[in-house]
Structure formats: C-alpha cells, structure tokens
Amino acid sequence: IEELEMRYTTSVDKGLTSSFAREVLERDGLNELKPPKGTPEYVKFARQLAGGLQCLMWVAAVICFIAFGIELGRGNLTSFDDLYLAIVLITVVVVTGCFGYYQEFKSTNIIASFKNLVPQQALVIRDGQKNQINANELVVGDLVEIKGGDRVPADIRIITSQGCKVDNSSLTGESEPQTRSPECTHENPLETRNVAFFSTTCLEGVATGVIINTGDRTIIGRIASLASGVGNEKTPIAIEIEHFVDIIAGLAIFFGFTFFVVAMFIGYAFLEAMIFFMAIVVAYVPEGLLATVTVSFTSTITSVCSTSVICSDKTGTLTQNRMTVAHLWFDNHVHAADTTEDQSGQSFDQSSETWRSLARVAALCNRAIFKPDQEGIPIPKRIVVGDASETALLKFTELTVGNTMDYRNRFKKIVEVPFNSTNKFQLSIHELEDPLDLRYLLVMKGAPERILERCSTILVKGQELPLDEQWSESFQTAYMDLGGLGERVLGFCHLYLNEKEFPRGYQFETDDMNFPTSGLCFAGLISMIDPPRATVPDAVMKCRTAGIRVIMVTGDHPITAKAIAANVGIISEGSETVEDIAQRKRIPVEQVNKSEARACVISGGQLKDMSSDELDEALRNHPEMVFARTSPQQKLIIVESCQRLGSIVAVTGDGVNDSPALKKADIGVAMGIAGSDAAKNAADMILLDDNFASIVTGVEQGRLIFDNLKKSIAYTLTKNIPELTPYLVYITVSVPLPLGCITILFIELATDIFPSVSLAYEKAESDIMHLKPRNPRRDRLVNEALAVYSYFQIGAIQSYAGFTDYFTAMAQEGWFPLLCVGLRGQWEDVKLQDLQDSYGQEWTYSQRLYQEYTCYTVFFVSIEICQIADVLIRKTRRLSAFQQGFFRNRVLVSAIVFQLCLGNLLCYCPGMPNIFNFMPIRVQWWFVPVPFGILIFVYDEIRKLGVRRHPGSWWDQELYY
C-alpha cells in the first residue's frame, strides 16, 4: 500500500490534492474511452462509389456525357439517349453506393456502445474530503469509494473492502458475482481479487480504492482498442462477391478494350469507338446485380453458410444456464432426476423413507427463496434469490415435495450457520413439525467428504445403520461417479437433538457451536449440473453430418466441460482423450500414441504454455476438442489457430472481452440475451435465444441462401451475353443495331430484377446439411463451370433467339438478312432519306430509326422470353425442374407474371417509342423466341439428367456448377 502511495503520489486517507489532480487530468486527459480514429464518413461513402464496377460505370457515364456534349455542340439534338444513359448509370452507382454505405455503417458503431458503459458520477476523496464529481474527471491516484449498485468508475486497486462483490460479466463473461478484497491473490491483474475494473458493476458491499488506470488505459479501454485494432474481417460472402465483381469488371474492361481496338482498326472514328466501349461496358456489366445482392442476399445469415468450425461457449449456449439437480444417491443407489427444461422426463422412485429425510434436509438447509408473486410461472422459470446450487435445490424440492416455503414454515428455523470456505458446510436447526415432539432437528449440507467425516450412521431404507468401511466405500464410489460426470456434489445429513440436553429455549450459539456437529446421520448425496439444452445434441449431430466441427470453449472446470461435451456429443461416444487411453491401458500418459485419441481436453493453463504450432498440431490431430478454464482472451488465440488451419470459424461470445475474438472470427455470433452491447456490435450475427441449435439452423439457412445466390447470379449473368453479342455483331458485321443501351438497362434494372430476387425463395434441392462445408479456396460463389455454362451455352442460345427474332422482324418489314450485313453505314446516314430495302422501297431516316427501335424491342422480348426459361432452369442445379415443382416457389411465379406484364407495358404503352425506344411490336414476334426458350429448358434437363446419372463423369465435371 505504501508502494501504491509512492507510485501514485497519493494518500490512502486523504486522497490527492485537487490541484495535483488537475495537473494529472491535464496530463492524462479525461477518464473516457476515446472513439478510435475512424475514416471520415465521406471517405467511406466515396469508397463505396469507387469499387471496380462503379469506376467502370463512371467511365461509361462520362463517355455518355462527352458524346452528348459533342452532339449538342454540333447542333443536332436528335436524341437525349446518351444523356438518359449517363443519368441512369450514375443513379445506379449512387443508389448501390448508398446501400453499401448503410451496410457498413451498421457494422462500425462499436465504440458507441462502449461509451454507454462510462459511469456518470463518482465519490472521490480529495484533500481529505469526500466529493461527488463527474466520473470523467477522475485521474490516476484518486481515492474513490464505491458501494453496491455503483458502476466502477476506473480500474481501481482495492484498499479497504466490506463484503464488496462485483459483477464482471460485461468484462469476462463470468456471471457469478466476485468478491473484491485488498489481498492480492494472483499475479494476473484480471484474476486478482484486489482490482475492480472500469465499467463493471459493484453488486453489494462497500470498498475504497486507488485508481490505477483511467480512460483508454483501463482494461476495458485496451479491449476496446484491441477490438477496433483487430481488422474487421470481411465475412466470407463479402469476399466472394468482391471476387466475383473483380472478375466481371476485369472482363468488361477486357472486352471493351478489345473491341475498342478492333473498332479503331476497322476504321471507326475515335468517338464512335469510345461509344462502343461504353456500350459494351453497359451491356456486359450486370447493373442490377449489385442492387439485387445487397437487397436480398446480404442478410448476415448468408455469412454462416461456409462455417467449418464453430467455437461455442458452454454456459447458456450449449447448456440451459441454470443449475439443476441431476442425480441423487441414497439407499446405496444413484437415482437420476429430471433435468429437462420442461420437466417432461422420467422421475425416480420416491417411496423410500430415506428420500423423505433427504428431501427434508434439502428443503430446510437452504437459504434461497422464491421472489413473491410467481404462482403462475412454471417452477423452473421462477426467479429465485440465492446462489446457483441453493436455487437448484429449492426448485428441486419445490418440484418433488411441493410448496417448500410452507414446509419451511412448519419446521421453524431456530438458528443457522451459513456456508463458508473454511467449514465447507452449512447447517441449520429447526423445531419439528409435530408440536408434541420437542426435539430439535439439525440439518447440514456441504462438501461430501466433510459431511461424511461428521457422520457416524447412515440412513438406509429408513433404518439408521452404523457407517462402516463398506458404506464408506460405496459412498466414495458414488461420489467419484457423480464427480466424474462433471457434477457438483453435495452431501446431506441430519441429527435429532436430544430433548433433554437441548430443551426448548436452548440458546444455540453459532460462533461457539454449542451443539454437536459430528456423529450425525448421513442421508444422501445430491449432485447438480447445468444441463445441456434439449435441442443441442441433435444440433451437434447435424453439425457432424454437415462436416462442421464443434469446439467447446469454456471457463468451466475440465471435468464438467468434458462431461457436458460428452453429453451433447461434442465428444462422441467411444472417443477417448489421451488421458482416457492411458487409464484404460494402464500406461503413463507420455506413452500414448496421440493420434489414437480423437478427443482432447485442454485447459487454459496448458494452453498458456503451448506455442501456436503446438496448438495447431493439437487442433489438427484431435477432431473433438474441448477447451476448459480458458480466459476469454485465449478464445482469440484459438480462433486464430483455427483460421491458420484454413477453417471458416464461427465464434459465440457474450462478454465485452469476447469482442476481439468475435471480430477476428469469420462469423462472430453474439448472444442476444446474455450478450453485452459491445459483443453484439462486434458480431456479425446475434442469436436471439442464445441457443446453439439456432446457429446450426443459421448454417442451414445460410447454405440454402448461398446456393440460391449462386442460382441468382447464374441467372443474372446469362443475359449479359445476348446483351453483348448485338454490339459485337454490329461492330464487326455492320448490321443495323439490334439492341440499344437504354433497352439493356431496362432488362438489367427493371424486368429481370424481380425474378433474380425470387430465386432467393427457392427451396433446397437436397439435404444440404449432408454436404461438407464448402472450401473457400475452391468452391467459389462463381466458379468456372457456372460462368462458362451461363455465358457460352445458355447465353449463346439466348443470343441466337434474339438474332432470329431480329432478322424475322427485319425481313418481314422488307430487309432481308443478307442485305442487312454491311448496311450500317447507309442505315445510319442521316442525309439518306431514300434507302432502298430488299423490295426496292425507299425509307426515310426516321422510318429506319423506328424500324431499329422495333428491332430493339423484338430483341428485348426475345431476351425476356429466354430469361423466363432461364429462371425456370435455375430453380435447380441438379434435380429435374419437374422434381422441384414449378409452382412451389410462389414468388418466382409472380415474378414471371410481373416480368411479362412489365414487358407488355413497355411495348404497348403509348409514348414509349419516343421516350424509351420501345415500339409496339407484332404479337407473333413474341413467339419467335419461344422455341429457343423450350430448347434452353430441354437442354438443361438433359444436362441435369447427365449430372444425376453419371456423377463424377466428364459431363458432371464440366457442366455442373
């Protein structure tokens, strides 16, 4: 303490002088968490507007403006198409940018919640006087006083304490209140008892202490900066989309540039070639895709799809987070109690006389009480005042005996000795229920070995038998068995006090213990555990079949952890740890072949001594891992190790100091109920019910969405080819332009959006939980097969459909296909008002222009019809569309109807020709592409049939995406 005074030039009685405090305040700054220096908001927004595709679209828009400007400068304002195009492109970029910005904004307000943790006022002693000051003015060396209910204003070294307990749950996740006293109990500041941490809550008692850290230098401040220092790992799906967008942007530039050069070679003017470049970019870039993906697919659930490892907490996630009586031992038998959440399990035989005594001890020797007015609530859910094991016992007796409170009233309590760590027992003395029986009853519970020491008899089937060697041995076996299950075991015993020695009115002194505390009668053992949630074993099984590894990371004792792990299936039946094998073979641990052990339990202590290589090695060798007694900081190490091994890691967490691990993990999962705000902010996903099974459901959903996203992208990509080929043919063969840029934008941004979104509602094709998690390096969202199949096969058929319809419309109006070839120059000659068609008829420029618009519309309709076939084939990747059912996805059906209606509206709404270049086309031109649509459907059915019939064949490898 003197050292403390020296170090912080303070006094434990009087505190700092206020002038010195002011100096320190100036030196160290306010006692607040500073938000990390983030990138300014406008930079973030600008970054959203400057992605690969976005840049490309900016360039296209600028070219449009230039083209428009040049036309304007020449004085012939024939059309505003270029201007429209530029505006639409910019709008698309800005709108998708806003979406992206909003998404990012949601994920970056982590520090905001740390701010909420700062206490408002603090009681500080300066100049020997108590002052109430704002907590942010505290400085190092200040002497502060905290009492129950306060938030700790800074990191404090406790100097005096009276029953001070703090709730560290926001920091470490430990939910039990922890005592704070002046003694140093541990070297690690996090473990020691004499430091109370900034932002934790003082539950009861009073303490004074010296501030040792303020602001960002406090433990929580360091975690805050650590959390923001750990780079925000992009979710796997974001990486996938980025990867895909880069490829698209690269290809668009490649195509655009190639044809720019080709056009220059053929002899087009520079400006014309630039416009070709722009048009190719517009045709090739899937403008609507960004919007579709952002709107319908970037729900965070998508990110869990590729999870291959889940690091789960135990308490609350795998378990119910409430101590429950699991086993009883009396009459030399182990009886199992019902641990299910809804009390639906089997009960045990309650007819024995011993059971009644045991239940009586359990009910009486218990300080826990129900909070009043909870009659309507089921017993397991009622709120109890008392510690975890007493709560468990209270609920247990309430369930088995009934109305414990009334029962206690009947046995009036005379005196009690509460549990303390030296005695390791708790006892109380009661009057008996029967008013004629004037004996007192002494009941006692505590650590089983201590209880046994004090007993001389044992109750068996209601008979008091002497406690001999044999009974001791069977007691030991039972105790070891229950302990081996990871359960907390308590022993119970009682004694009727002789009414002569202890008549009514006898003064029992708890300090002197003027009553017998040995020679008691042993009643039985009751063991408690925090039982696993009912749904968890199934969920763990599901993970196993889905190739997902579940690793338990808990602060609990290794034995408990292992027992729960075995219980829920994280350690499967028949798996052994190195220690188990050693025990079975009766050989030292060192001689065991480590690869034989499937399971492994590593405690925090061992973990501390392991190098990261050793940890990797352990994770690689043992498929079933349990980490016990780990500090939340070690979670980060485990996560990093898993990531080094190439896994996509999901991590659950609730405490503030889990947030670095949550951020580091590919998918951070915060607990919705128990989780602190900081954890929730750092997480990618929040579990509303804190249930592990929900993560698995999430994975299932995520995998489905990933599959559907693939389908949606395949659908979207396909039409880029029939949008691109008209330009290529136009440039190289010089036919009149079959498809205009504005029409392309209508396909991209209007008619095809809804169908591509509707694919998100597609049902799973097969049991997706029986597949291995995807390998993020190999199974990309957009793989070669998908792109090739969409572009060069389906896209090609669509292009042919478009051109067939185009040539039909041209030929029926008088322009035969062969005449069209090379016609471009004359066709687009504004001066030429009498161009002859195949019949010798003469066309004015405007007549030709409307004919060109007719072609645009016809090509548009062809793409629409083919896209309907496309969306139908994209419903499945492997199954036949007939197996999947055509009408089960209602959204998709309505999307097709919507698409057709919109197409009709665009074609036949008056005024369209001059605004958006759509012409009312002849009805039969709608049907020209239909055979091609059927061809697409049939071809894809053949493809799927081949894929199903011959898995692994050449056909499967090349055509399954």
Partner 1 sequence: MSGNKDSDGGWKKFVWNSEKKEFLGRTGGSWFKILLFYLIFYGCLAGIFVGTIQALLLTLSKDKPTYQDRVAPPGLSHTPRSDKSEISFKKSDPSSYSKYVQSMNEFLEMYNETKQNRDFYEECGTLPDTYKDRSMEEKKKVCKFSRSLLKNCSGTDPDYGFMEGNPCVIIKLNRIVNFRPKAPSNNLSLELPVKVSPNEIPIYCKPKRAEDEGQIGEIKYYGIGQGFPLQYYPYYGKQLHPDYLQPLMAVQFVNVTEGKEIRIECKAFGDNIDYSEKDRYQGRFDIKLTVS
- For partner 1, the binding residues (CB under 8 A) are 75-76, 243, 247, 251, 777, 780, 783-784, 787-788, 792-793, 796-797, 800, 803-804, 807-808, 811-814, 816-817, 830-834, 836-847, 850-851, 854, 914, 922, 931, 935, 954, 958
Cross-strand bridge partners of residue 521: 457, 494
Q: State the nearest-atom distance from the C-beta of 775 to partner 1, in Å.
A: 11
DSSP three-state, residue 327 = strand
Answer left, alpha or beta for residue 778, where phi above 0 means left and psi between -120 and 50 means alpha. alpha
* Nearest residue (CB) to partner 1, 533 versus 944: 944
d(CA 799, CA 785): 19
Contact 284, 721 (CB under 8 A): no
Specify the pairing of strand 455-460 against strand 520-529: parallel
Cross-strand bridge partners of residue 164: 180
Q: How many CB atoms lie within 10 A of CB 953?
A: 13
* Nearest residue (CB) to partner 1, 203 versus 788: 788
* Nearest residue (CB) to partner 1, 462 versus 931: 931
Q: State the nearest-atom distance from the C-beta of 834 to partner 1, in Å.
A: 4
> How many angstroms separate the first and last alpha carbons of the chain?
70
Q: For 434, phi and psi rounded to 5 degrees?
A: -75, 115
d(CA 766, CA 780): 20
The two counts, helices (H) then strands (E), for the chain are 39, 27
Q: State the nearest-atom distance from the C-beta of 255 to partner 1, in Å.
A: 12
Q: State the nearest-atom distance from the C-beta of 825 to partner 1, in Å.
A: 15
468-507 exposure pattern, b = at least 16 Cβ within 10 A, e = fewer: eeebeeebeebbebbbebbbbbbbbbbbebeeeebeeebe
Tokens 């079933």 correspond to 624
813-847 exposure pattern, b = at least 16 Cβ within 10 A, e = fewer: bebeeeebeebbeebeeeeeeebebeeeeebebee
* Nearest residue (CB) to partner 1, 50 versus 830: 830
User: Per the structure block, which two tokens stand in for 53?
Assistant: 């595709």
DSSP three-state, residue 28 = helix
Q: State the nearest-atom distance from the C-beta of 807 to partner 1, in Å.
A: 6
**Alpha-carbon distance values, 338 to 482, 528, 649, 924 (Å):** 15, 11, 35, 73
User: Per the structure block, which two tokens stand in for 588?
Assistant: 């030292």
Q: State the nearest-atom distance from the C-beta of 214 to partner 1, in Å.
A: 47
* Nearest residue (CB) to partner 1, 79 versus 107: 79
Q: Which amino acid is at 530?
A: D
* Nearest residue (CB) to partner 1, 58 versus 850: 850
* Nearest residue (CB) to partner 1, 43 versus 830: 830
Q: Which amino acid is at 452?
A: L
d(CA 77, CA 83): 11
* Nearest residue (CB) to partner 1, 37 versus 831: 831
Contact 462, 307 (CB under 8 A): no
Please compute, for residue 169, the number of CA atoms within 13 A of its CA located in the half-sphere on the CB side.
13
Q: How many CB atoms lie within 10 A of CB 672?
A: 17
Please, which contacts does 823-830 make with residues 24 or more away whose CB atoms are closer than 8 Å?
823/734, 823/735, 823/736, 824/730, 824/734, 824/735, 824/736, 824/737, 825/734, 827/736, 827/852, 828/736, 830/76, 830/78
d(CA 398, CA 402): 4
Q: State the nearest-atom distance from the C-beta of 844 to partner 1, in Å.
A: 3
Q: State the nearest-atom distance from the C-beta of 97 to partner 1, in Å.
A: 26
* Nearest residue (CB) to partner 1, 332 versus 804: 804
Q: Which amino acid is at 563?
A: A
Q: CA angle 213-217-218, nearest 5°? A: 60
* Nearest residue (CB) to partner 1, 878 versus 922: 922
Choosing from 82, 155, 167, 313, the catalytic residue is 313
Residues in the chain: 961
* Nearest residue (CB) to partner 1, 129 versus 844: 844
* Nearest residue (CB) to partner 1, 668 versus 802: 802
User: Per the structure block, which two tokens stand in for 321?
Assistant: 């987070």
d(CA 373, CA 362): 23
Q: State the nearest-atom distance from the C-beta of 725 to partner 1, in Å.
A: 12
DSSP type of residue 343: S
Q: At what angle do helices 81-107 and 52-74 cross, to 10 degrees?
A: 150
d(CA 219, CA 242): 36
Q: CA angle 887-888-894, nearest 5°? A: 55
User: Per the structure block, which two tokens stand in for 286?
Assistant: 């899937």
Q: State the nearest-atom distance from the C-beta of 850 to partner 1, in Å.
A: 6
Q: State the nearest-atom distance from the C-beta of 845 to partner 1, in Å.
A: 7
Q: State the nearest-atom distance from the C-beta of 650 to partner 1, in Å.
A: 23
User: Where do the H-state alpha helices sit in 76-176?
Assistant: 81-107, 110-115, 169-172
* Nearest residue (CB) to partner 1, 425 versus 789: 789
Question: In 3D, which of 149, 320, 374 has the Cα closest to residue 384?
Answer: 374
313 is catalytic: yes
Q: How many CB atoms lie within 10 A of CB 854?
A: 22
Q: State the nearest-atom distance from the C-beta of 309 to partner 1, in Å.
A: 22
Cross-strand bridge partners of residue 324: 529
Catalytic site positions: 313
